[in-house]
């Protein structure tokens, strides 16, 4: 019995030592540059948000925070890179919604599950999908698009930033709800090439976050006809929501920040608190709002619950897509 008590005391002391070491590590963290992995291409809405967040954290920490893009394979390339990183807080990961709701067996290692695959840190921003068309299509509203698509089933093409991404899921949801057939044109490498093809009238429509298509909209190369937010956006009050034509329709992207499993809890909590300061900053909110993105904070526990709820929301859509492709 005495020996058992001795081992118990030793185990308790070891746990206390680990706890103190982790707390001390978090107090001085970070002591070197931090990397944030983004699973989207440069210039895309998730990439823009990640760079704003990286800049804010860098100012708080007094350390360089570098954003690295690992697009492709529906997000599984970025997931693999982040999952293989050391669990020391110096590699963080900002996956997009679609990385959590991808169809099983479509891409390796997806969809991600929290906290099985990564440890949640917090929420960064949400990005409603914008529906924009080439002006030569001759339509001005979503209702007109639906009517035209019913006249020309399978002829009106729409660009997305990859199979399984939210841009694709939003297009599938639109076709299901409006009972129309569109022609999917998936792109890789972000919205730049898709935007060019729309400008040259090779593709009719795009579904994308505003920051990826803002320049083309402002120059008149494409016309926004609707946004898939629950209500009209304060920065775009004249733009109708999709729900005004198709009640209940919503397709909003979002990003959470996570870390490799095993990252010390004290570091998770510190990053979460500092992330809260970044996303609550009024200047950041103003900058993101102009780009159609809206930041808000969540605790690690709130972020976990949010992701799980979103996965339940999109599961029926994924099941319909899978049934349609079989």
Cα–Cα separations (whole angstroms), residue 42 to 47, 78, 95, 103, 173: 6, 13, 14, 24, 26
Residue 61, C-beta contacts closer than 8 angstroms, at least 6 positions apart? 30, 34, 274
- The greatest distance separating any two alpha carbons of the chain, rounded to the nearest whole angstrom, comes to 86
> Which fold does the domain 130-244 belong to in CATH?
D-Maltodextrin-Binding Protein; domain 2 (3.40.190)
Task: Give 207 or 21, the one with higher predicted confidence.
Answer: 207
Q: Place 41 in a pLDDT band, splitting at 50, 70 and 90.
A: confident
Multiple choice CATH, 11-23+32-127+254-325, 3.30.540.10, 3.40.190.150, 3.30.1180.10, 3.30.70.2190 = 3.40.190.150
Q: Is the pLDDT of residue 322 over 70?
A: yes
pLDDT in the model for residue 135 = 94
Q: Place 17 in a pLDDT band, splitting at 50, 70 and 90.
A: very low
Q: Count other Cβ atoms within 10 Å, centred on residue 96.
A: 28
Q: Do domains 11-23+32-127+254-325 and 130-244 have the same CATH topology?
A: yes
pLDDT in the model for residue 11 = 52
Residues of the chain above pLDDT 90, percent: 71
Do 253 and 100 meet the contact criterion of CB atoms below 8 Å apart?
A: no
Identify the H or E element spanning 133. strand 130-133
Domain boundaries, the chain: 11-23+32-127+254-325, 130-244
Q: Which of 114, 106, 69, 38 is nearest to 308 (CA)?
A: 114
pLDDT in the model for residue 14 = 52
Q: Count other Cβ atoms within 10 Å, centred on residue 81.
A: 16
Residue 236, C-beta contacts closer than 8 angstroms, at least 6 positions apart? 210, 224, 227, 292
pLDDT in the model for residue 298 = 97
């Amino acid at each position: 019995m005495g020996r058992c008590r001795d081992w118990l005391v030793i185990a308790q002391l070891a746990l206390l030592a680990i706890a103190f070491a982790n707390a001390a590590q978090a107090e001085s963290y970070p002591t070197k540059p931090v990397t944030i992995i983004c699973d989207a291409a440069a210039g895309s809405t998730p990439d823009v948000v990640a760079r704003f967040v990286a800049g804010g954290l860098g100012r708080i920490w007094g350390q360089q925070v570098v954003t690295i893009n690992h697009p492709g394979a529906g997000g599984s390339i970025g997931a693999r890179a982040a999952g293989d990183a050391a669990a020391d807080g110096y590699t963080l990961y900002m996956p997009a919604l679609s990385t959590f709701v991808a169809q099983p067996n479509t891409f390796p290692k997806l969809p991600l599950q929290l906290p099985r695959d990564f440890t949640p840190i917090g929420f960064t921003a949400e990005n409603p999908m914008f529906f924009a068309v080439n002006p030569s299509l001759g339509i001005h509203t979503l209702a007109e698009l639906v009517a035209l698509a019913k006249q020309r089933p399978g002829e009106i093409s729409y660009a997305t930033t990859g199979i399984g991404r939210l841009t694709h899921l939003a297009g599938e949801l639109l076709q299901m709800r409006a009972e129309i057939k569109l022609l999917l044109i998936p792109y890789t490498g972000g919205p730049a090439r898709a935007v060019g093809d729309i400008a040259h009238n090779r593709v009719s429509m795009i579904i994308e976050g505003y920051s990826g298509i803002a320049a083309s909209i402002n120059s008149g190369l494409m016309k926004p006809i609707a946004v898939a937010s629950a209500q009209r956006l304060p920065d775009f009050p004249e733009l109708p929501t999709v729900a005004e034509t198709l009640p209940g329709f919503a397709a909003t992207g979002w990003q959470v920040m996570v870390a490799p499993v095993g990252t010390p809890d004290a570091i998770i909590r510190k990053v979460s608190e500092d992330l809260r300061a970044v996303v609550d900053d009024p200047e950041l909110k103003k900058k993101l709002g102009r780009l159609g993105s809206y930041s808000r904070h969540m605790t690690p526990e709130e972020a976990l619950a949010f992701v799980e709820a979103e996965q339940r929301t999109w599961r029926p859509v994924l099941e319909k897509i899978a049934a349609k492709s079989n």
